[in-house]
Chain A
Amino acid sequence: MTESTTAKRAQLKPPVTNVGVIGWLKTNLFSSWYNSLLTVLMLGMLALFIPPLIKWAFIDSLWNSSAEACRNIDGACWSVIPHNFRFIILGFFPEGQGWRPVLAMALLLGLVIYSKERSRWKKSLAWLWLINLIIMGTLMYGGVLGMPVVETSQWSGLPLTLVLSFFGMVVAYPLGIFLALGRRSKMPAIKTLCVVYIEMIRGVPLISLLFMSSIMFPLFLPEGVTIDKVLRALVAIILFTAAYIAEVVRGGLQAMPRGQYEAADSLGLTYGHTMRLVILPQALKIVIPPSVGILLSVFKDTSLVVIIALYDVLKTTMVTLSNPEWAGYSKEAYIFLALLYFAFCYAMSSYSRRLEKELHTGH
């Protein structure tokens, strides 16, 4: 084929209904009578629900008015949020000390964003996390550097939600690894103990563990010793999450080829060395996507502490709504809270999906 031949061939354009906007509409919305019917139905339903929703949420609504002004409108009263914002987010944290939980949350958010890059996954990152959590704890509790002590009973709102999720996850992870290793052990007593623990915890709802920890823990301790409520809830969350992490890590361990264990053995490495230097670094990397999924679940499940009267961000919202001034605006408050949760959870789940794709092709 000479160049001139190919150049002379007339440049035919595809039919106009196959390209451009019309083409897209045809393939995606109207490709068959069946699809066209569906499209019309969907558009009809959207037309039925979206305009009234927009009217309620945006047109007839008030965004920063007094409670009385809200009573006279048909639309959404978003004012419930700005007026109670500090209480919803920070709860009972003392006035004037609000900068501490805010700083703690900002540090946590910063670290989360920093950790997203895979190139930064080194041992130093683990230390960074540990230090960050200690700083967070210190900021919240106070007692040093002139910061007045704030008891855990006053920790509430979004900081409490974050403390419960992240501390819970970080402490539960090593416990989960031990349980996974124990479950794969050849020693029957160890294996049975681990299997019984894992299956029992996974078989019951988190609420029963929260009940157990808040009602039963005081009975387990000798007279006079008390644990504060936040710690009790944290222990329940840790025990619960560890069982799920154990199953996920077990999957990673099972995916390791036997040859890795054998090569380490033949070099003379002990069990501890083999696990620490050869097996776990590889296995844990494989299970990072499902682990992020567990973190996501923990974050959502912290809302359950409402039931044992801990003031996480859901409970502070409910307290706001029980105020007679703002009663009746539950929809608006809950929608705001839902957006907050959605932003965080959606970011985490899409990150997890992206990670899974990257790790899959990277191998």
Chain B
Amino acid sequence: MKPKDNSTPIKPVEAAVPFWRDAGKRAILIQVIALFIVGGASYYLFSNTQANLARQSIATGFGFFGKEASFEIGESLIRYSASDTYARALLVGVLNTLQVAFIGIILTTILGSVVGIARLSTNWLLSKVAAAFIEVMQNIPVLLQLFFWYAIFYESFPPPRQALNPINGIILCNRGFVFAIPEAHSAYPAMGWIFLAVLIGGWFMNRWGHRRQELTGQAFPAGRITVALVIILPLLTWFLYGAPTAMNMPELRGFNFQGGVTLSPEFMALLLGLVLYTSAFVAEIVRAGIQSISRGQIEAAKAIGLRPGQVLQLVIFPQALRVIIPPLTSQMLNLTKNSSLAVAIGYADFVAVANTTINQTGQAIEGVAMIMVVYLVFSLSTSIFMNWYNKHMALVER
């Protein structure tokens, strides 16, 4: 057997080829030219900018972070006043964005899934109403929807004195959506901990149940038990703490409401607009995901004797989720990016706060750069999650 030559390959010595005809060198030349053009253009823009900034006596750098912001912010999750720094103001903006994004994503997922499944319903009325919802919401610009809901609040809803009060404790007026919450009591944190404990316990119980099923073949209804416990145990806790029923009711004092929780019209309009718009796209994604499961799968599952619930859980959901999750995460990202439109209706999200900062300090470049960096962090985290998810869930193929 001729010994295999395993030494590393070496390029043959060849007659000198003019570099513009050499494939490898031509590639390098093109790249050098491209980098030169990009670099040159960047340098040109950069030097212009420096000259212009100097001419207009605008500062550079992020020194303004420590300066006093001297503007108020309508709503904030943390304590803030006009005498706080710009840095703190921007933090308030980020938290506001996250708040809207977080609540928006949860609501959109729920609403979008419901509408998507309804679209596939055999009930003609339900499916047509869902289809109408999807078409209408998708085809109207989200900014217009935001303005519309905002207008509903400040034009159509009455002032606090004549507020709409459909149920005791729920109030709609042009100052926002006000509702009662339970009065603070030690029962509630306790209930929260019990709820968490049941969920964790339920997860362990599920794993134990699966192992037992593998060994003995007997299924353990861990899911149903967890659901039952998650309702019963917190209720029991509530009883044990004396069954507190005191509610923090909003009351009209002067021109406004005290007590309860007030959600501003800006927040409500932003949330409503974003959730309705994005859920239409999510509905289509969910619908496509469920429809992607070929009928043969369902028929085979039924032929084995699986019950409808089991078919759903064991065959349809796992496959549908694979198809649904990637576009779903990009819609979640879209919702987060669209929340930047808050600046148009006066909700103090990050872009709005950054915009005010730019207007006051004149430092446009730092401001816009900050905005882009914050959103890039959101997108990159989502991409990383997506890549991990895709690798984790990829169907093993030949």
Question: Residues of B contacting A20 with CB < 8 Å?
Answer: none
In the complex, whether A35 has a CB less than 8 A from a CB of chain B is yes
The answer to whether A211 and B368 touch across the interface, beta carbons within 8 angstroms, is: yes
Contacts of B55 in A (CB 8 A): 223
A330 B341 Cβ-Cβ under 8 A: no
Cβ contact of B351, chosen from A190, A208, A220, A338, cutoff 8 A: A208
CA distance A199 to B387 in the complex (A): 14
Interface residues of A in 268-316 (CB under 8 A from B): 300-301, 303-304, 306-307, 314
Would B139 and A202 count as touching, CB distance under 8 A?
A: no
Contact B136 A38 (CB under 8 A): no
Question: Could you mark each residue 305-330 of chain B with 1 if its beta carbon is under 8 Å from any beta carbon of chain A, else 0?
Answer: 00000000000000000000000000
Whether A189 and B371, one on each chain, are in contact in the complex, defined by CB atoms closer than 8 angstroms, is no
Q: A67 interface residue, CB < 8 Å from B? A: no
Contact of B147 among A31, A199, A221, A318 (CB under 8 A): A318
Chain A residues whose CB sits within 8 angstroms of the CB of B344 once the complex forms: 306-307
| A189 pairs with B31, CB closer than 8 A | yes
Q: Which of B124-144 contact A (CB under 8 A)?
A: 124-126, 129, 135-136, 138-144
In this complex, the member of A43, A203, A212 whose beta carbon has the largest number of chain B beta carbons within 10 angstroms is A203
Residue among B129, B143, B365 with max Cβ neighbours from chain A (10 Å): B143
Residues of B within 8 A of A13 (CB): none
Say which residue of A189, A208, A219, A223 sits within 8 Å of B34 (CB atoms): A189
Contacts of B144 in A (CB 8 A): 303, 314, 334, 337-338, 341
Judged by a CB distance under 8 angstroms, whether A267 is at the interface is no
A274 vs B356: C-alpha distance when bound (angstroms): 51
For B141, B148, B152, the residue with the greatest tally of chain A CB atoms inside 10 Å of its CB is B141
A100 CA to B372 CA, complexed, in Å: 39
> Using a CB-CB cutoff of 8 Å, which residues 221-257 of chain B contact chain A?
none
Assess A189 versus B143: contact at CB under 8 Å? Given A203-B376, A222-B48. no
Find chain A residues with CB under 8 A from B165 CB.
none
Interface 9-residue window, one of A4-12, A84-92, A342-350: A342-350
Chain A residue with the shortest CB-CB distance to B382: A203
What 0/1 pattern do residues 329 to 373 of B give for CB contact below 8 A with A? 000000001101101100000010001001000001101100110
A-B pairs with beta carbons under 8 A, tally: 158
Known A-B contacts A187-B27, A190-B34; A211 and B143 likewise in contact (beta carbons under 8 Å): no
The answer to whether B126 and A186 have CB atoms under 8 Å apart is no
In whole Å, how far is A336's beta carbon from the nearest beta carbon of chain B? 11
CA distance A152 to B217 in the complex (A): 76
Evaluate whether A29 and B125 lie within 8 angstroms (CB atoms) in the complex, with A203-B376, A211-B371, A349-B139 already known. Answer: yes
Nearest chain B residue, comparing its CB with the CB of A191: B31
A28 adjacent to chain B (CB < 8 Å): yes
Is there contact, CB below 8 Å, between B31 and A342?
A: no
Given contacts A205-B340, A331-B152, is CB(A187)–CB(B52) below 8 Å?
A: no
Against A, the Cβ 8 Å flags (1 = close, 0 = not) of B45-79 are 10011011101000000000000000000000000
How far is A314 from B383 in the complex, measured between Cα atoms in Å? 33
> Does A211 contact B35, Cβ atoms closer than 8 Å?
no
Contacting residues, chain B, for A206 (C-beta < 8 A) = 337
Instruction: Across the interface, name the chain B residue whose C-beta is closest to A211.
Output: B368
Which of A190, A202, A203, A211 lies in contact with B30, CB distance below 8 A?
A: A190
Question: Chain B 151-179, CB within 8 Å of chain A: the 1/0 string?
Answer: 11001100000000000000000000000
Residues of chain A with a CB closer than 8 A to B358's CB = 211, 215
Q: Mark B103-126, 1 if CB is under 8 A from A, else 0.
A: 000000000000000000111111
Interface residues in B20-51 (C-beta closer than 8 Å to A): 27, 30-32, 34-35, 38, 45, 48-49, 51
Contact A342 B140 (CB under 8 A): yes
How far, in angstroms, from A215 to B351 measured CA to CA in the complex?
A: 14
- Interface 0/1 of A6-50, CB less than 8 Å to B: 000000000000000000000111010001001100110010000
Residues in B neighbouring A303, C-beta threshold 8 A: 141, 143-144
| Given A207-B340, A207-B351, A219-B364 contact (CB < 8 Å) | yes
- Across the interface, do A35 and B379 meet the contact criterion of CB distance under 8 Å? no
Least CB distance, B114 to chain A, in whole angstroms? 12
Q: A342 — which chain B residues lie within 8 A by C-beta?
A: 136, 139-140
B31 lies within 8 A of A334 (CB):
no
B395 interfacial by beta-carbon distance below 8 Å: no
For chain A residues 312-333, which have a beta carbon within 8 Å of chain B? Answer: 314, 318, 328, 330-331
A193, CB-defined interface residue at 8 Å: yes
Is A137 among interface residues, defined by CB-CB distance under 8 A? no
B1 at the interface (CB under 8 A from A): no
A203 and B374 CA atoms in complex are apart in Å by: 10
Specify which chain A residues have a CB less than 8 angstroms from the CB of B123 in the assembled complex: 28-29, 31, 35, 38-39, 42
In the bound complex, residues from chain B placing their C-beta under 8 Å from that of A205 are 337-338, 340, 351, 375
A216 contacts chain B at the CB level, 8 A cutoff: yes
Contact mask for chain A residues 45-70; partner B; CB cutoff 8 A; 1 contact, 0 none:
01000000000000000000000000
Interface string of A180-215 (1 = CB under 8 A from B): 000000111110010000011011111110011001
Extra contacts, 17 of them, besides A29-B125, A331-B148 (Cβ < 8 A), are A27-B122, A42-B123, A187-B31, A193-B35, A199-B383, A207-B351, A208-B340, A208-B368, A216-B364, A220-B45, A220-B48, A221-B52, A300-B140, A306-B344, A337-B144, A342-B139, A346-B139
Please list the residues of chain B having a beta carbon within 8 angstroms of any beta carbon in chain A.
Answer: 27, 30-32, 34-35, 38, 45, 48-49, 51-53, 55, 121-126, 129, 135-136, 138-145, 147-148, 151-152, 155-156, 337-338, 340-341, 343-344, 351, 355, 358, 364-365, 367-368, 371-372, 375-376, 378-380, 383
A-B contact pairs, 5 of them (CB 8 A): A28-B122, A200-B376, A212-B368, A331-B156, A338-B140
Instruction: Name A's B-contacting residues (CB within 8 A).
Output: 27-29, 31, 35, 38-39, 42-43, 46, 186-190, 193, 199-200, 202-208, 211-212, 215-216, 218-223, 300-301, 303-304, 306-307, 314, 318, 328, 330-331, 334-335, 337-338, 341-342, 345-346, 349
